Amino acid sequence: MKFPLSRLASCCLYSTSLFFLLSFVCTVNSLVKLPPNVTVQALLVFGDSIVDAGNNNNIQTLVKCNFPPYGKDFEGGNPTGRFCNGKIPSDMIAKELGIKDTIPAYLDPTVQPQDLVTGVTFASGGCGFDPVTPKSVSVLSLSDQLEYFKEYIGKLKTIIGEEKTLFTLRNSLFLVVAGSDDIANTYFTLRARQLQYDVPAYTDLMSNSAASFVQELYELGARRIGVLSAPPIGCVPAQRTLAGGADRECAGNFNEAAKLFNSKLAKMLDSISLPDGKFVYIDIYNPLLDIIQNPPKHGFQVADKGCCGTGVLEVAILCNQYTPVTCAKVSDHIFWDSYHPTERAYEALVSAVLGKVVDKFF
């Protein structure tokens, strides 16, 4: 699946000095303590809506959010294609690592050469490890994202040369965020795989796909690869509504599937042994579950509803300029829409997780 990139391609062919480009690499002070003499050259991100900064704006799909009220608390208050009221985890991680303030979408036609040097996201809202997941909603699959990454490598060689490109890839952080849509949508809601697989077999499919993707990234030059666990997907407002019964409790079968997948993902990553490779399992299930189960402990008041509309079902095109933002104070809520956390909830999650795992990449 390929889409026109004429404006992006043209901007990458500008005659720009190497000094000018590389001056952007270390413009943000690192907040996470890195090992001595270590810097992270770029952040390169793959996956789903949690880290899609606007790639879906530029493809033919209904899974979009490039309209109000999305982005109401982002820089300038404008929607960018981030499935949030503000910044998303990839933005926050880039800033914590001292790279830059935000990670743009690769398909954003305004992306500049210096953006490529310091990292972009290839993620596409609605993607998953199961190839059926992105196909069912016409978004970029992980295979599509990998093809764009190959294209990105070619552009980077044009900008900074082959040797520095290899150095950048080896000294960048790669993040993969997927699995939620496989479990919540493809398996349980659409039931597109239930005749073929029970939950153990389906989570095998997911973990095997994750393993293949990680190894493909490695073959293309990646050396520091982190894969986020599936979250407690049964506790997001939409799944509480659809599968949590009259009291809208967390959907236990969704969460059990997520935990089973996570155990397999962790073992798989631990078993990969490739020269100079660091393959890190990043647990977000337990930290996010703690935030959801103990809102006051983390400074929140509402855990079971989003801010958009009723807060129990609205997401993507159902959360639009005609849907009122019903919460008086967004920062009191863990969820922005019925599926995605608020910027403040992401901040709490990144703060709880990043410092504990960063040393594992070095």
| Rounded Cα–Cα distance for residues 335 and 295 (Å) | 11
Catalytic residue among 90, 115, 207, 340, which? 340
Render 319-355 in DSSP notation, one character per residue: SSTTS-B--S-GGGBSBSSSSSB-HHHHHHHHHHHHH
Q: What are phi and psi of 328, to 5 degrees?
A: -70, -35
| Rounded Cα–Cα distance for residues 357 and 280 (Å) | 8
| Rounded Cα–Cα distance for residues 234 and 339 (Å) | 10
Q: Name the E strands within the chain.
A: 43-47, 173-177, 224-228, 278-282
Catalytic residue among 91, 124, 337, 338, which? 337
Side-chain half-sphere CA neighbours of 290 within 13 A: 11
| Rounded Cα–Cα distance for residues 114 and 102 (Å) | 13
What is the DSSP secondary structure assignment for residue 312, as one 8-state letter? Answer: S
Strand partners, 226: 175, 280
340 included as an active-site residue: yes
337 included as an active-site residue: yes
Identify whether the C-beta of residue 289 lies closer than 8 Å to the C-beta of residue 352: no
Identify whether the C-beta of residue 302 lies closer than 8 Å to the C-beta of residue 327: yes
CA 225 to chain centre: 13
247 included as an active-site residue: no
Catalytic residue among 49, 180, 207, 229, which? 49
Q: List active site positions.
A: 49, 337, 340
